[in-house]
């Protein structure tokens, strides 16, 4: 197993297995390029200028947890049902983060191209906004409503399906 050192934007180094690092498609392609240049002996240092130390730690927790025999690049497991259930529980607990941390995880998962983590983060965001009013979502995420009243009313009229309460749909 080759030693890989991932260097965060603030200069912190993290030593990980090449298997865990390869869950990131970005890192995997960099590793392939570096291996071609440097050979097999020396540890590979991969700079990650768009990911800070605390976020990289969190991403690496995900990658290490999802590194198992039978894991593919999306982080999906092709092994026992028990392992799959354990990962689902671990993933739910992993996503118990603040909105700010979730934002940084999404950005890092996108930059590092970790499909399983990106999917998990998007699911977490969807769970945060499910059933909430547009005003509540704006307030929660600190978004500014840049629509004029007439524009907003037009959008509401043309997208009534999006504003129907799920409980009302269940009654019908």
The pLDDT tens digits along the chain (172 residues) read 567 899 999 999 999 988 899 899 999 998 888 776 666 667 788 999 999 999 999 999 999 999 865 544 444 545 678 888 899 999 999 999 999 999 999 999 999 999 999 999 999 999 988 888 888 888 888 889 888 989 888 888 888 776 655 555 455 4
Q: Which CATH number fits domain 3-129: 3.30.70.360, 3.40.50.300, 1.10.8.60, 3.30.710.10?
A: 3.30.710.10
User: Domain boundaries in the chain?
Assistant: 3-129, 134-171
Considering only CA atoms, which of 140, 76, 69 is closest in space to residue 102? 140
Are 166 and 131 in contact, with CB atoms under 8 Å apart?
yes
> What tokens does 2 get?
């080759």
């Amino acid at each position: 197993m080759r030693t890989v050192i991932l260097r965060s934007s603030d200069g912190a180094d993290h030593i990980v297995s090449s298997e865990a690092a390869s869950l990131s498609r970005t890192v995997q392609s960099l590793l392939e390029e570096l291996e071609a240049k440097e050979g097999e002996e020396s540890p590979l240092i991969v700079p990650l200028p768009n990911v800070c130390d605390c976020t990289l730690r969190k991403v690496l927790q995900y990658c290490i947890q999802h590194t198992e025999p039978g894991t593919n690049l999306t982080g999906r497991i092709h092994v026992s049902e028990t392992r799959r259930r354990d990962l689902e529980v671990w993933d739910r607990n992993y996503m118990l983060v603040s909105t700010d941390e979730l934002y940084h995880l999404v950005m890092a998962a996108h930059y590092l191209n970790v499909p399983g983590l990106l999917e998990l983060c998007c699911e977490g965001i969807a769970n945060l906004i499910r059933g909430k009013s547009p005003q509540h979502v704006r307030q929660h995420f600190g978004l500014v409503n840049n629509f004029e009243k007439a524009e907003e009313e037009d959008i509401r009229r043309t997208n009534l399906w999006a504003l129907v309460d799920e409980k009302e749909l269940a009654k019908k």
